[in-house]
Amino acid sequence: MTIDRRQFLQMTGALGCVASSPARALDYPTRPVRLLVGFPASSGPDLVARLIGSWLSERLGQSFVIENRPGAGSNVATEVVVNAPADGHTLLLASGSNGFNATLYGRLNFNFLRDIAPVGSIYRAPNILVVHPSVPAANTREFIAYAKANPGKLNMASNGNGSTGHIYGGLFRMMTGVDMVHVPYRDNPLPDLLEGRTQVYFSPISSAIGFIKSGKLRALGVTSATPWAMTPDTPTVGEAVPGFEASGWMGIAAPRGIDPGIVALLNKEINAALANPKFQQSLAGFGGEVFGGSPADFGAFMAAYTEKWGKVISFAGIKPD
């Protein structure tokens, strides 16, 4: 997911017009806040971090400085935050990768669920199961039947071993019993998929939507539990595979031991952003939707997510690059 700088500035500028600083008794923040992102600039997590950072800067009267620390599927950034003072001035843009990593990486210097305090969820988005038009399947049921009749003959692309597309494919394989050959890419997998060298991909919707509309790819199902507004004519994968659901998410987390008052303040302001129509519109432009709730809600969600995907990763024998 990428967006040009002019569009992003327009989004954040519009938000600045509607954000106003609330009165508060808590003496926080007292200096600029670092918001660490474990992925490069212009990635999806980076854009969401900059959007919420702009909102929080306006609301709380201090800069929220986005610091990109890519590496090891966000583990580098997460470890920095785990070891930072628990004063609220160092935060993490947490994501679904953190839930995956607890199982993907056997030896981490931290335990994500133990060492990170949930602050507030922000965003979630599904992927979409797409195939090259040469695949003779108009929907997910037909695709499963074709894949079972042709075991090992379909190539499933992903952004790399341990990537979201790889892991979602693992859940699909676990729930359907289909046999596909995984083809990991370090760069964009779409060019080979468009040429038919691979045939299947659990793609971010924002990356695939243009090719779906042009007929260069065929959409079989979205991975959300319910139909998705961005692709209203595409059914869910779960209609053919009951119980199938796979969505990415992002939120704010802090070092364990942070003052509950700071957590409450940040959570309040995050949820204020999520209730704002302009903020909602900006997230929709990234292919997702608002995903709010209390810190306790977010913590319970992360624990369930980590457990669910740990079982999938173990079943599929997935290892990171």
pTM of the entire predicted model: 0.89
More confident of the two residues 286 and 239: 239
In the numeric block, the tokens 């302009």 are attached to 278
Which has the closest alpha carbon to 273: 60, 32, 34? 60
- Report, as an integer, the average pLDDT of 262-268: 98
Report whether 71 contacts 41 (CB < 8 A). no
Distance CA 23, CA 34 (A): 22
For position 115, what pLDDT does the model report? 98
Count of other CB atoms within 10 angstroms of residue 215: 8
Q: How confident is the model at residue 25 (pLDDT cuts 50, 70, 90)?
A: low
More confident of the two residues 3 and 251: 251
Res 304 pLDDT > 50: yes
- Report, as an integer, the average pLDDT of 116-132: 97
For position 255, what pLDDT does the model report? 98
CATH 3.40.190.150 fits 5-125+248-316, yes or no: yes
Domain chopping of the chain, boundaries: 5-125+248-316, 126-239
In the numeric block, the tokens 């869910």 are attached to 236
Q: Looking at the domain 126-239, which fold is it?
A: D-Maltodextrin-Binding Protein; domain 2 (3.40.190)
- Report, as an integer, the average pLDDT of 64-72: 97
For position 4, what pLDDT does the model report? 43
Helix (H) or strand (E) holding 59: helix 44-60
Helix (H) or strand (E) holding 293: none
Distance CA 58, CA 64 (A): 9
Kindly report, residue by residue over 36-56, the tens digit of the pLDDT: 999 999 999 999 999 999 999
Which has the closest alpha carbon to 249: 43, 51, 48? 48
Distance CA 141, CA 144 (A): 5
For position 106, what pLDDT does the model report? 83
Report whether 8 contacts 50 (CB < 8 A). yes
Q: Which residues contact 29 (CB under 8 A, 6 or more apart)?
A: 60, 61, 62, 88, 89
Report whether 200 contacts 133 (CB < 8 A). no
Res 19 pLDDT > 80: no
Distance CA 14, CA 42 (A): 19
Res 21 pLDDT > 90: no
Q: How confident is the model at residue 93 (pLDDT cuts 50, 70, 90)?
A: very high
For position 37, what pLDDT does the model report? 98
Q: How confident is the model at residue 14 (pLDDT cuts 50, 70, 90)?
A: very low
Res 3 pLDDT > 60: no
SS3 115: helix
Across the chain, mean pLDDT equals 92
Which stretch of 72-76, 160-164, 284-288 has the lowest confidence by average pLDDT? 284-288
Distance CA 172, CA 156 (A): 11
Distances (CA, A) of 137 to 6, 140, 202, 285, 316: 40, 7, 15, 29, 25
Kindly report, residue by residue over 155-201, the tens digit of the pLDDT: 999 999 999 999 999 999 999 999 999 999 998 999 999 999 999 99
Kindly report, residue by residue over 209-248, the tens digit of the pLDDT: 999 999 999 999 999 999 999 999 999 999 999 999 999 9
DSSP 233: T
SS3 260: helix
For position 287, what pLDDT does the model report? 85
| Same-fold call for 5-125+248-316 versus 126-239 | yes
- Report, as an integer, the average pLDDT of 263-289: 95
Rg (the chain; Cα; Å): 20
SS3 52: helix
